[in-house]
Amino acid sequence: MARITASVYTSHVPAIGAAVDLGKTHEPYWQPLFDGFAPSRQWLKVQKPDVIILVYNDHATAFSLDFIPTFAIGTAAAFAPADEGWGPRPVPTVVGHPELASHIAQSVIQQDFDLTIVNKMDVDHGLTVPLSLMCGEPTPAQGWPCPVIPVAVNVVQYPVPSGQRCFDLGRAIRKAVESFDEDLNVQIWGTGGMSHQLQGARAGLINSDWDNRFLDLLIENPTGLARLPHIDYVREAGSEGIELVMWLIARGAMADIAGPAPRPRVHHRFYHVPASNTAVGHLILEDAP
Ligand code: DHB
Ligand code: FE
């Protein structure tokens, strides 16, 4: 049977992708950030996941404001890096896992979550920047270390899904993975955040105390955190801080949410300000073997 063994949480700032692509990771501004992910890159090499379910948001790249799925799953065999205005990032094409993705769609829709099935789409910085942070800089010929199933969440155009809905979707995804009849080591990643606001009077807002409290609660009391209303995210973490609801999908997919099981182990925790306009948060949680 397939099983979810770990969850990873990270911001996805586009400037981080530009720093990688332009060879700036060792510059004084960027080095502390990339150093914070060094243990994670090492960990990923040891873990060797077979598939990563990568929860992210599209930033009006693949989905324009013409149509906006609340939750979408990518079932394609491959996803090209999107052109976000400066040309596509020179990173590998993202290889998908159509069989597991279709199975998750089938199972999760039967569990009453109406996923949009996406058979063709490009993926933007929301998905490729977390891969760069966690996997380093493979050439397009080398490729990313394993297939990736994109799960896109609308956190751009209101109404966006509640933290509770995201958390419950994570739980449904775990159930779906555990009913896939192949021995696969699956990870689930939640991306976006942490505190940031890109426009308006509060542009540049960072709230480190709130961010760190969010990390504490995500580890220790995710069920309580799932009940936090949108207004608290926006008030405390800025308008784009709402991206953090996506982290609850990954947390909802851990073993302790499915039934009696120990809380996941914190393998790594990192927080850094600033990266562009954003506070960067990062966690790795591992289920007990
Ligand atoms: C920035 C952060 C984001 O999450 C994003 O999607 C776009 C820009 C920023 O900090 O510049
Ligand atoms: Fe974003």
| Residues sharing a CB contact under 8 Å with residue 262, sequence separation 6 or more, in sequence order | 255, 256, 288
Q: Which domain CATH number covers 194?
A: 3.40.830.10
Q: Find residue 62's DSSP bridge partners.
A: none
127 C-alpha to center of ligand 2: Å? 10
Residuewise pLDDT in 10s, the chain (289 residues): 999 999 999 999 999 999 999 999 999 999 999 999 999 999 999 999 999 999 999 999 999 899 999 999 999 999 999 999 889 999 999 999 999 999 999 999 999 999 999 999 999 999 999 999 999 999 999 999 999 999 999 999 999 999 999 999 999 999 999 999 999 999 999 999 999 999 999 999 999 999 999 999 999 999 999 999 999 999 999 999 999 999 999 999 999 999 999 999 999 999 999 999 999 999 999 998 8
Number of domains in the chain: 1
Question: Model's pTM, two decimal places?
Answer: 0.98
Q: How far is the CA of 16 from the centre of ligand 1 (A)?
A: 9
Expressed as residue numbers, the domain containing 75 is 3-286
Measured in residues, the chain has a length of 289
Whether residue 254 contacts residue 7, with contact meaning beta carbons closer than 8 Å, is answered with yes
Backbone angles phi, psi at 211, to 5 degrees: -55, -45
User: Omega into 134 within 30° of 0, i.e. cis?
Assistant: no
Cis? peptide before 159, omega within 30° of 0:
yes
Distance 277 CA to ligand 1 centre (A): 7
At residue 86, the pLDDT reads 86
pLDDT at position 288, please? Answer: 86
Looking at residue 164, its pLDDT comes to 98
pLDDT, residue 33, reads 98
Give dist(CA 287, CA 249) in Å, integer.
15
pLDDT one-digit tens code per residue, 184-204 = 999 999 999 999 999 999 999
ω into residue 274 within 30 of 0, thus cis?
Answer: yes
Tokens of 36: 């914070």
Of all protein residues, the one whose alpha carbon is nearest to atom 2 of ligand 1 is 13
Instruction: Please give the distance, rounded to the nearest whole angstrom, from the Cα atom of residue 183 to the centre of ligand 2.
Output: 33
**Which bound ligand lies closest to the C-alpha atom of 15?**
1
Q: Which residues surround ligand 1 with Cβ inside 6 Å? A: 12-15, 59, 196, 198, 240, 276-278
Residue 125 CA: nearest ligand 1 atom is 6
Q: Which is the closest atom of ligand 1 to the Cα of 192? A: 4
Q: Whose CA is nearest to atom 5 of ligand 1?
A: 13
Q: Could you list the active site residues?
A: 125, 196
